A and B are shown apart, each in its own frame.
Chain A
Amino acid sequence: MTVDAPPSWATTIPHEPGVAKPDPILVVDGVNRRFGGLLAVDVGHLEVQRGAITALIGPNGAGKTTLFNLLTGFDNPDSGSWRFAERDLSGVPAHRVAHHGMVRTFQLTKSLALLTVMENMKLGATRQRGERFWGALLRPLWRGQEKEIEERADALLERFKLSHVRDEFAGALSGGQRKLLEMARALMVQPELVMLDEPMAGVNPALKQSLLSHVKQLRTEGMTVLFVEHDMDVVYDISDWVVVLAQGRVIAEGPPAAIGANPKVIDAYLGTHFAEGGGEALGELGPDERLEVDQVGLGEPLTPGGAADA
């Protein structure tokens, strides 16, 4: 496994929470979200560099998914604002967020079970004439566009090695294949920023490798990637920059190599496990989240060296 050299900007700016990036595509300011007494997200300032792969890590319940929900309009913050590609997106409903070029995937895969893989893909294309009610009735209006979309979808399926299941129901795929499909479908939107919530969870090692190369490929194509991941090997392998979230706050930022050594990060991971790691903290999590805890494990190596040995 080769670790790419970090881009030059990552080494020149300070490695501290909320640091300004040379060319940010996403700028988050003072976003707060409370659930009852719990302050799930409390991000003072966060910037995401354009054209880079940024990893968002943090122990379970840190607020990563909630932050995704807020930024993509699936949930509303109690306060705060954010700008995406110089446009204020706070308060914009989820479906419009996608039109602005920001697409997210979900931690629990949301493949559309009774649609075929191809239909799943075609759904991702935006501005379809045939998606309007009256237009839909007249096939000649949308037949040409449909064909283009299908070609684009076929190319992506080819790339994601899903061509052979093109006409299967998505619900008949394996878990890993569904993850792939969800990512490929998000790309059909042709976004500038892809936000992946745990894209590798539950994917077998062989598929994982191909997913990784796909993510890197996106960067080559000029896309920006923000992804949540627990597997530190993956984080070291592909990310240019790492943001660490704990108890809703950004506690550290920096290139991957600098993060593993940060005592605050080690504290955050170990602290939550030891201090609140009892049954109660578990009791507040959904069943799927409990699995994650097991995946991360306490023995998870936090240094690149450890990862290589493991």
Chain B
Amino acid sequence: MAAPAAAQTEDPGSTSTTVGAAPDPSAGAVRGRLLDLKETDASEDDVPVPGVRITVEDSDGQEAGTAETDSGGLFRIPLPGEGTYTAKLDEDSLPDGVSVADDEIEFTLGPGQSRTLLFALNAPNRRTEGKVDLFLQSLVDGTYFGLLLALASVGLSLIYGTTGLVNFAHGELVTMGAIFAFWFNQTLGWPLILSGVLAVLATGAVGWLLDAAFWGPLRRRGTGNTALMVISIGVALAVLNLYLYVFGGRTRPYADYRAQPAIDFGTVSLPPKRIIGALLCLFFLVAVATALQRTRTGKAMRAISDSRDLAASSGINVDRVIRFVWLFGAGLAALGGILFSLSQDVNFEQGSSMLLLLFAAITLGGLGAAYGALIGGFVIGLFVSVSAVWVPTELKNVGALVVLILVLLVRPQGILGARERIG
């Protein structure tokens, strides 16, 4: 991260909310989060700095409010109203080894406004690693993220291919997996591995049910593809906010494998859970590819993607195959969500903030092209992560989306997609 943003908002800015969630109700305040960013770019290495005193004075030098950062490094200071203020960070309350570049920030507040303050902690320590090391690390991180995206986007692509639905609510299936696993693991206290397996099964079942009770009947009514797309947006919006309602806005970790020490491989370091997660992804991706190639249902899925009417007229039970697409697609999305949360913790909008990247992945691959999603997902994941070496973290998704637009400029049908016929 090039910018001296040692204190971050609760929403790290780099993620994009695809379907909007309700805004923070708090107003008329300043807030922020003090994080010691250590020396890596991986946000999971950031350490919150608790117990630091921050005082706000108004333009007359009168104290307007004060607070200490909590265990999460968060502070929030309610202020009386509009005006010009100065926030001061008490350097003596900083722990040893942590320094602040500028301990005073002047800011203005509009009526009812709430602002975020950025104190630059340990800014001089940042960027001690060379570009090459950063690049290698981001290559490794990107591989993991790419595998995840590939996994999560298979369902999105197959659902589009077989039913024509551009499902804006696919990200919610990703989140569902993570939340189910969280619930089994944290609330019911089951081991994470068991919780993960159950969450994948449960989300798969939800996918199955969604098709049986919702999308299937709509399809049979002859609802147009655009209408289906708009419906999926509504579903996404409703479900996302339902998650926010039930799960809350905080990011919460699983009980197990929380702070795994990273194994050092020379310039690159990785916690074991990520190695295992990557292997798991790889296993499932190979399994998906093989299943599409070899099994009856898999072949039928590809056949329907190619031409639905033709497949139907050659005796394939299209509805049954589509049901399986939903079952597996949702299950894989859930798995992607759980593996993502293993390193980034659980958040109600993790899936929806991933949605555009998923779209980018399947669009790159060619909408509906069965293997396109695998390739597209991997490329996008890698790209997002590697581009963060050069562009600010908060803009790393921008790069991927720009690439998406550029590719479509050259090949409007995507990398693996077939051209539309005219006439």
Are A and B bound to each other? Answer: yes
Contact of A108 among B309, B310, B313, B423 (CB under 8 A): B423
Q: Which residues of B contact A68 (CB under 8 A)?
A: 423
- Please give me the 5 A-B residue pairs with the lowest Cβ-Cβ distance, nearest first: A287-B309, A65-B423, A74-B422, A106-B423, A107-B423
List A residues 232-266 near B (Cβ within 8 Å).
none
User: Is A128 engaged at the interface, CB distance under 8 Å to the other chain?
Assistant: no
**Chain A: minimal CB distance from B16 (Å):** 34
User: Is B421 engaged at the interface, CB distance under 8 Å to the other chain?
Assistant: yes
- 22 A-B pairs with CB atoms under 8 Å apart are A65-B423, A66-B423, A68-B423, A69-B422, A69-B423, A74-B422, A74-B423, A75-B422, A106-B422, A106-B423, A107-B423, A108-B423, A197-B423, A279-B314, A283-B310, A286-B307, A286-B421, A287-B307, A287-B309, A287-B310, A287-B313, A290-B310
Q: Which residues of B contact A290 (CB under 8 A)?
A: 310
Closest to A197 in B: B423
Closest to A287 in B: B309
- Per the bound structure, the CA–CA distance linking A69 and B423 in Å amounts to 7
Q: Measuring CB to CB, which residues of chain B are less than 8 angstroms from any residue of chain A?
A: 307, 309-310, 313-314, 421-423
- Per the bound structure, the CA–CA distance linking A107 and B421 in Å amounts to 11
Q: Which residues of A contact B314 (CB under 8 A)?
A: 279
- Per the bound structure, the CA–CA distance linking A193 and B307 in Å amounts to 35
Q: Which residues of B contact A66 (CB under 8 A)?
A: 423
12 other A-B residue contacts (CB within 8 Å) besides A106-B423, A287-B309, A287-B310: A65-B423, A68-B423, A69-B422, A69-B423, A74-B423, A75-B422, A108-B423, A197-B423, A279-B314, A286-B421, A287-B313, A290-B310
Closest to A288 in B: B309
Closest to B422 in A: A74
- Per the bound structure, the CA–CA distance linking A215 and B44 in Å amounts to 74
Give the secondary structure class of B's interface: loop
- Per the bound structure, the CA–CA distance linking A66 and B423 in Å amounts to 8
Number of A-B contacts (CB under 8 A): 22
Q: Which residues of A contact B313 (CB under 8 A)?
A: 287
**Chain B: minimal CB distance from A58 (Å):** 15
**Chain B: minimal CB distance from A120 (Å):** 19
Q: Which of B314, B422, B423 has the most CB of A within 10 A?
A: B423
**Chain B: minimal CB distance from A86 (Å):** 27
- Per the bound structure, the CA–CA distance linking A286 and B313 in Å amounts to 12
**Chain B: minimal CB distance from A159 (Å):** 26
Q: Which residues of B contact A75 (CB under 8 A)?
A: 422
Give per-residue flags for A75-86: 1 if the beta carbon is below 8 A from chain B beta carbons, else 0.
100000000000
- Per the bound structure, the CA–CA distance linking A108 and B307 in Å amounts to 17
- Per the bound structure, the CA–CA distance linking A5 and B309 in Å amounts to 44
Q: Which residues of A contact B423 (CB under 8 A)?
A: 65-66, 68-69, 74, 106-108, 197
List A residues 276-303 near B (Cβ within 8 Å).
279, 283, 286-287, 290
**Chain B: minimal CB distance from A287 (Å):** 4
Closest to B309 in A: A287
- Per the bound structure, the CA–CA distance linking A106 and B422 in Å amounts to 8
Closest to B421 in A: A286
**Chain A: minimal CB distance from B343 (Å):** 42
Q: Which residues of A contact B309 (CB under 8 A)?
A: 287
**Chain B: minimal CB distance from A111 (Å):** 15
Q: Which residues of A contact B310 (CB under 8 A)?
A: 283, 287, 290
- Per the bound structure, the CA–CA distance linking A250 and B309 in Å amounts to 32
Closest to B423 in A: A65
- Per the bound structure, the CA–CA distance linking A283 and B309 in Å amounts to 11
**Chain B: minimal CB distance from A279 (Å):** 8
- Per the bound structure, the CA–CA distance linking A101 and B309 in Å amounts to 37
Closest to A106 in B: B423
- Per the bound structure, the CA–CA distance linking A68 and B307 in Å amounts to 24
**Chain B: minimal CB distance from A40 (Å):** 11
**Chain B: minimal CB distance from A8 (Å):** 34
**Chain A: minimal CB distance from B45 (Å):** 48
- Per the bound structure, the CA–CA distance linking A75 and B313 in Å amounts to 30
